[in-house]
A and B are shown apart, each in its own frame.
Chain A
Amino acid sequence: MAKKTYDLLFKLLLIGDSGVGKTCILFRFSDDAFNTTFISTIGIDFKIKTIELKGKKIKLQIWDTAGQERFHTITTSYYRGAMGIMLVYDITNSKSFENIAKWLRNIDEHANEDVEKMILGNKCDMDENRQVPKDRGEVIAREHGIKFMETSAKNNINIERAFEELAEAILNKTPSGRPDPSELPDRIRAVNPSPGDRPGVISRCC
């Protein structure tokens, strides 16, 4: 297997209602481009980007989940292994903001207790269609002690900064007696919803 070209591996997760722009945010971050014609995410998607922070090479493994309710059984099983979660709403869609409370409950239920969180109010380029004032985002973030930013995947506002700040918060928590990177598994530790569907357990039938 290829030699490790990074010092640390962080697993991040993007969640939020369908259509708020999760896939666009990730695409902007990983490919520095904006595409208006993404199909809706079915299940879960995956991208990797390596960044440098405080002299360390950090490999970000970012999971993009589907927003619609139907996919939650599939997607909540990834919460457990996540070190950082970005919770996205759409500033032109107040329903997506109201649902933030629901997404936070999901995190409480399924993620590690010490997971780093961040709330993003996306599509801030569309100020003329704004339904959620910025201070409402700030208030809910403050209430929960979470970082908050308004972003635009379209105009590339705060996208890189958001990922860097989230990564930095995780980095600051990482104990100085860090494990040797070669010992880090090059994958996430996703907790399976049920032991039965672990592909590792191929039943020795007949």
Chain B
Amino acid sequence: MSYRERMQRLELLLGEAVINLEQLKELVFHGLPGDGSARPLVWRLLLNYLPASREEWGPFLAKKRTNYGNFVADLLQPCCAAEEAADAAEEADHPLNPNPDSRWQQFFRDNEVLLQIDKDVRRLLPEIAFFQSATKYPCEQIVSGAMARLHERVGYVSLQAGSIVKRGIGLITKTSTGTSSSSSDGGCRPNNKGGESHWEVVERILFVYAKLNPGQSYVQGMNEIMGPLYYVLATDADEEWARWAEADTFYIFTHLMGEVRDFFIRSLDNSTSGIRRMMEILMRRVGGRDTQVARLLAQQEIHPQYYAFRWITLLLSQEFPLPDVLRIWDSLLADRKRFDFLVDLCCAMIIHVRGELLSGDFATNMKLLQNYPPIDVRDILALASTFSEKGVVAE
């Protein structure tokens, strides 16, 4: 099928009253229109957020978006708000309460998570200016001052509770409040003048996610998964969709994490869905497709943990420039056996540079795989597709 044919079919497909997800996957696997205009909608569908039936979209989205608004209102309210403080007084709760169930203790635990998120969102995709720029659709309660900014909250604890509570403080430097000109915040200025930067929005989504998933909470790298999702939804040319980027990203992120969360859970490293198992499958596929390279990697003891750990955990979001990552994710998300194609793609990346690998020593090969060279990603996508067409080599 030619590119034009595919794009025409895609347009037809997306225009139908009930969208056929299987057909959509088949088309999108080979890429989306170059301008990316279809991507926000397609990703919402592929990640099983939007229902297939267009009729349901209106009420469905309204409900979801209201729910998200409620999460924000409930979960971001610091416990020192007036009402909570009154409750706390009744229960004789106070910042020095050693009871681990104390709301104050919870507050300090949350702030540790928040602090990690804060460090990471400020460092998100620094090669593009987007996350540092202001969003057109900031959170109203924040802009109106009804709710404190999350990063101010971690700053607040360090300054206020620092002198009275021993645990859960000492994590914060004043620089994270944005008042100092130190560079420890990655040169990232919060947008304090009646607006919000995109990274502040991402910080909020991650914090809500961490609060709603306390078992897993926040793990570094989740920010890198969030980055492309939020970028795609927030840069939607259609304002009616773009204005809901925050809430919708929360849901598609939650769905995506539902499928890859095991990579982020340490206790599952050795389970069948865990990261180690994925790396094993990768090495077996490399072995099945290129014995010479596989033997060399084994000889030089270049373990997959050194490079493929990051490739797989972050769905390759760190290895290529953003436009290439988006193209790669079209295929990853459209994969029928979701994330099996990811392994084929990693395998293709290794075999694509086999010439360099075979003539390199340990150090050069490590560098090569940890800093993958600039390439035309269509080459590795094509190579990986030939693998998946041939079927899975014996595992």
B43 to chain A, nearest CB (A): 23
* Contacts known (A43-B310, A154-B183, A186-B362); A202 close to B284, Cβ less than 8 A: yes
CB of B150 within 8 Å of the partner chain: no
- Across the interface, name the chain B residue whose C-beta is closest to A63: B306
- Across the interface, name the chain B residue whose C-beta is closest to A202: B287
- Across the interface, name the chain A residue whose C-beta is closest to B125: A39
- Across the interface, name the chain A residue whose C-beta is closest to B291: A202
A45-B370 in contact (CB<8A)? yes
* Contacts known (A68-B220, A199-B303); A93 close to B170, Cβ less than 8 A: yes
* Contacts known (A186-B361, A187-B301, A205-B394); A199 close to B283, Cβ less than 8 A: yes
B170-A131 in contact (CB<8A)? yes
CB of B321 within 8 Å of the partner chain: no
* Contacts known (A36-B187, A42-B221, A42-B309); A48 close to B294, Cβ less than 8 A: no
* Contacts known (A46-B366, A73-B269, A203-B284); A198 close to B298, Cβ less than 8 A: yes
CB of B54 within 8 Å of the partner chain: no
A198 and B363 CA atoms in complex are apart in Å by 19
A202-B123 in contact (CB<8A)? no
Residue in B294, B313, B318 whose CB lies within 8 Å of A39 = B318
CB of A92 within 8 Å of the partner chain: yes
A42 and B309 CA atoms in complex are apart in Å by 8
A2 and B362 CA atoms in complex are apart in Å by 11
CB contacts (< 8 Å) of A200 on chain B: these are 298-299, 301
Residue in A19, A39, A44, A66 whose CB lies within 8 Å of B306 = A44
A203 and B126 CA atoms in complex are apart in Å by 41
> Contact mask A103-134 → B, CB, 8 Å, 1/0?
00000000000000000000100100101000
- Across the interface, name the chain B residue whose C-beta is closest to A73: B269
Number of A-B contacts (CB under 8 A): 140
> Contact mask B173-184 → A, CB, 8 Å, 1/0?
111000010111
CB of A31 within 8 Å of the partner chain: no
A18 and B119 CA atoms in complex are apart in Å by 9
Interface size class of B (residues with CB under 8 A): 35 or more
A45 and B124 CA atoms in complex are apart in Å by 18
A14 and B300 CA atoms in complex are apart in Å by 22
CB contacts (< 8 Å) of B265 on chain A: these are 70
Residue in A70, A95, A98, A197 whose CB lies within 8 Å of B219 = A70
* Contacts known (A40-B123, A43-B310); A93 close to B171, Cβ less than 8 A: yes
Residue in A46, A197, A198 whose CB lies within 8 Å of B370 = A46
CB contacts (< 8 Å) of A201 on chain B: these are 298
A36 and B185 CA atoms in complex are apart in Å by 8
CB contacts (< 8 Å) of A44 on chain B: these are 305-306, 309
A74-B184 in contact (CB<8A)? no
A101 and B116 CA atoms in complex are apart in Å by 21
CB of B69 within 8 Å of the partner chain: no
CB contacts (< 8 Å) of A186 on chain B: these are 361-363
A44 and B264 CA atoms in complex are apart in Å by 15
CB contacts (< 8 Å) of B174 on chain A: these are 129
CB of B297 within 8 Å of the partner chain: yes
A119 to chain B, nearest CB (A): 18
A189 and B300 CA atoms in complex are apart in Å by 10
Beyond A2-B361, A39-B318, A129-B173, list 12 extra A-B contacts (CB 8 Å). Answer: A43-B310, A45-B370, A46-B366, A77-B305, A92-B173, A126-B184, A186-B362, A186-B363, A187-B300, A188-B301, A199-B283, A202-B287
Give 15 CB contacts A-B under 8 Å: A1-B361, A18-B116, A40-B120, A40-B223, A42-B318, A44-B309, A45-B370, A93-B171, A93-B172, A93-B173, A98-B170, A186-B362, A188-B301, A199-B294, A202-B294
